[in-house]
Amino acid sequence: MTAYTAVPVASSFPVPRPSTVLLAGCLLLASRAWAAPQETVIPIENVRMDYAQVLRVEPVYQTLHATRTEQQCDPPADPSAQGKGFSRIVGAVRNALSKNASSAPPQEGGSCRMVQVQREFRRPIAYDVDYLYKGMKYRSRLPEDPGNRLRVRVSVTPYVSPSDH
């Protein structure tokens, strides 16, 4: 292994004062800045948040179809066969208290059958929003209804054409 030792070296140049070194450094930097072309650093993106006025909101619906089986009974041919007054009330109470209360009781004198019934359900899945920002109209599809104001992200980036460099 080699060991190194520091040896003072005699210099033929005088040692400058600290204020002279500082002044020389500033002059050197100034001369380089003056001689070198200015390099401008352009940020990738200038972004800010603002609000736009909502003009119109139109929901976009998803339509779902479902089929289920229900009991459908035809009315009796003779209206006098339905029962009147007190006997009708007693029949309704008896059917409500029976063990099969969940199933619909067949009507007397009518025929009942199981039929398939189609149902259609619509639910909003998005909203088409027309809004006004700085005099320009825009449209966006959003997951929620924004109300009467819409927060927008404004980004400004300069355009540099290929022939400019």
pLDDT-derived band at 133 (thresholds 50, 70, 90) equals very high
- CA-CA distance, 58 to 142, in Å (whole number)? 10
pLDDT in the model for residue 9:
47
Mean pLDDT is highest, among 112-116, 118-122, 140-144, for 140-144
pLDDT in the model for residue 7:
47
Query: With contact defined as beta carbons under 8 Å apart, do 32 and 132 qualify?
Result: no
- CA-CA distance, 151 to 142, in Å (whole number)? 12
Residue 21 included in any domain? no
Residue 133 included in any domain? yes
Residue 96 included in any domain? no
Query: With contact defined as beta carbons under 8 Å apart, do 115 and 70 qualify?
Result: yes
pLDDT digits (tens, 9 = 90+) for 30-64: 555 555 566 776 666 789 999 999 999 999 999 99
Q: Where are the beta strands (DSSP E) in the chain?
A: 46-73, 112-133, 136-142, 149-156
- CA-CA distance, 143 to 8, in Å (whole number)? 76
Residue 138 included in any domain? yes
**Torsion sign (Cα): 150, 153, 156, 162:** negative
Domain limits for position 148: 39-61+125-165
What is the CATH number for 162?
2.40.50
Residue 142 included in any domain? yes
Residue 148 included in any domain? yes
DSSP letter (8 states) at residue 68: E
Residue 53 included in any domain? yes
What are the backbone dihedrals phi and psi of residue 101, each rounded to the nearest 5 degrees, phi first? Answer: -65, -25
Residue 57 included in any domain? yes
- CA-CA distance, 96 to 153, in Å (whole number)? 61
Total tally of structural domains belonging to the chain: 1
Element (H, E) at 147: none
pLDDT digits (tens, 9 = 90+) for 62-101: 999 899 898 888 876 655 555 566 666 767 767 666 655 4
Structure tokens at 33: 């800045």
